[in-house]
């Protein structure tokens, strides 16, 4: 029986690449889109659902669709850059709320809500960024950095509070600087390279604890 994974946020870029990569490895893939993605619908044997991480009603029904302990892994891959000025000084309440809900609180809520769907010893992964490392930070991109730091903190909290008792490992993943709409054309690696590495990391994971790692499986300072 093939392993099964849910990828939340798979309409384009890294999420779409992960859906294709896991399907090519023989996994049963369930992938979510917020609005219709023709690319995802044309990607082969993938079960597609609709999810908006900022709208709990859009994903709570998934628990009934799949049932408890039915998945080997979940990857939550929602993210935006945030307001273009990326400045704490210029930030409005609405801009702060939007980036934090989409990049941090929304994904964490999804992870907590869907945790029972994972088998004991499974893997819950959140798409983070090296920009979420305090130790590595050079400043700048303040909206994006703060949202990813927050996501990492929330992910570690889930590992300690909810996931540990069922030996579910929680990962914060840095995909590398990838040639996506967000990463831009000057990025160093292709979506395919990143997703192959990320899939390797997820396939080898599981068994309690928390790790912040890149697509090569290398530890990143928190």
| CATH numbers and ranges of domains, the chain | 4-214 (3.40.50.720)
- From CA 51, how far away is CA 115, in angstroms rounded? 16
Mean pLDDT calculated for residue range 169-178? 95
Q: Is pLDDT of 62 > 90?
A: no
Give the span between the Cα atoms of 75 and 171, in whole angstroms. Answer: 9
Q: Is 67 exposed, middle or buried (0-12, 13-18, 19+ CB in 10 A)?
A: exposed
* Residues 185-201, mean pLDDT to the nearest whole number: 92
The confidence score (pLDDT) of residue 30 equals 97
Once rounded to an integer, what is the mean pLDDT over residues 45-52? 94
Average pLDDT over residues 26-35: 95
What per-residue string of b and e applies to 136-172 under the rule 16 or more CB within 10 Å gives b? eeeeebbbbbbbbbbbbebbbebbeebbeeeebbbbb
Q: Which band of pLDDT confidence, cut at 50, 70 and 90, is reported for residue 66?
A: confident
Apex 192 CA angle, 189 and 71, nearest 5: 125
pLDDT of residue 138: 92
> What order of strands is seen across the sheet that includes strand 71-76?
46-50, 28-33, 4-8, 71-76, 118-127, 169-174, 210-214
In which band, very low, low, confident or very high, does the pLDDT at 184 lie, cut at 50, 70 and 90? confident
When pLDDT is cut at 50, 70 and 90, the band that residue 220 belongs to is very high
More confident residue, 98 or 187: 98
Q: How confident is residue 60, by pLDDT bands cut at 50, 70 and 90? A: confident
Residue 67 has pLDDT above 90, yes or no: no
What average pLDDT does the segment 160-182 reach?
A: 93
Q: What is the pLDDT of residue 9?
A: 95
With bands split at pLDDT 50, 70 and 90, how would you rate the model's confidence at 108? very high
CA-CA-CA-CA dihedral for 170, 3, 191, 63, to nearest 10: -60
Confidence of residue 192 (pLDDT cuts 50, 70, 90): very high
| Rounded-to-integer distance, Cα 104 and Cα 172, Å | 12
**Cβ pair 72, 122 in contact under 8 A:** yes
**Is 44 within 8 Å of 20 (Cβ atoms)?**
yes
What pLDDT does residue 181 have?
77
Q: Give the chain's mean pLDDT.
A: 94
The answer to whether the CB of 169 falls within 8 A of the CB of 209 is yes
The answer to whether 82 and 95 are in contact (CB under 8 A) is yes
Whether the Cβ atoms of residue 162 and residue 115 lie closer than 8 Å to each other: yes
């Amino acid at each position: 029986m093939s392993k099964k994974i849910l990828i939340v946020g798979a309409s384009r870029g890294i999420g779409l690449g992960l859906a294709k990569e896991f399907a090519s490895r023989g996994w049963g893939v369930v992938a979510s889109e917020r609005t219709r993605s023709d690319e995802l619908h044309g990607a082969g044997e993938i079960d597609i659902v609709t999810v908006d991480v900022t709208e709990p009603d859009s994903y709570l029904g998934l628990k009934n669709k799949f049932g408890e302990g039915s998945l080997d892994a979940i990857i939550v891959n929602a993210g935006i850059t945030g307001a273009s000025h990326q400045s704490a000084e210029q930030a409005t309440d609405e801009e702060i709320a939007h980036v934090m809900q989409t990049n941090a609180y929304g994904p964490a809520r999804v992870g907590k809500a869907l945790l029972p769907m994972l088998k004991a010893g499974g893997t819950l992964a959140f798409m983070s960024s090296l920009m979420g490392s305090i130790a590595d930070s050079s400043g700048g991109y303040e909206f994006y950095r703060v949202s990813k730091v927050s996501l990492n903190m929330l992910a570690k909290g889930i590992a300690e509070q909810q996931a540990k008792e069922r030996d579910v490992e929680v990962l914060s993943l840095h995909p590398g600087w990838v040639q996506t709409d967000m990463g831009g054309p000057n990025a160093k690696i292709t979506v395919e390279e990143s997703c192959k590495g990320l899939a390797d990391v997820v396939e080898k994971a599981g068994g309690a604890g928390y790790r912040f790692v890149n697509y090569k499986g290398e530890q990143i300072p928190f």
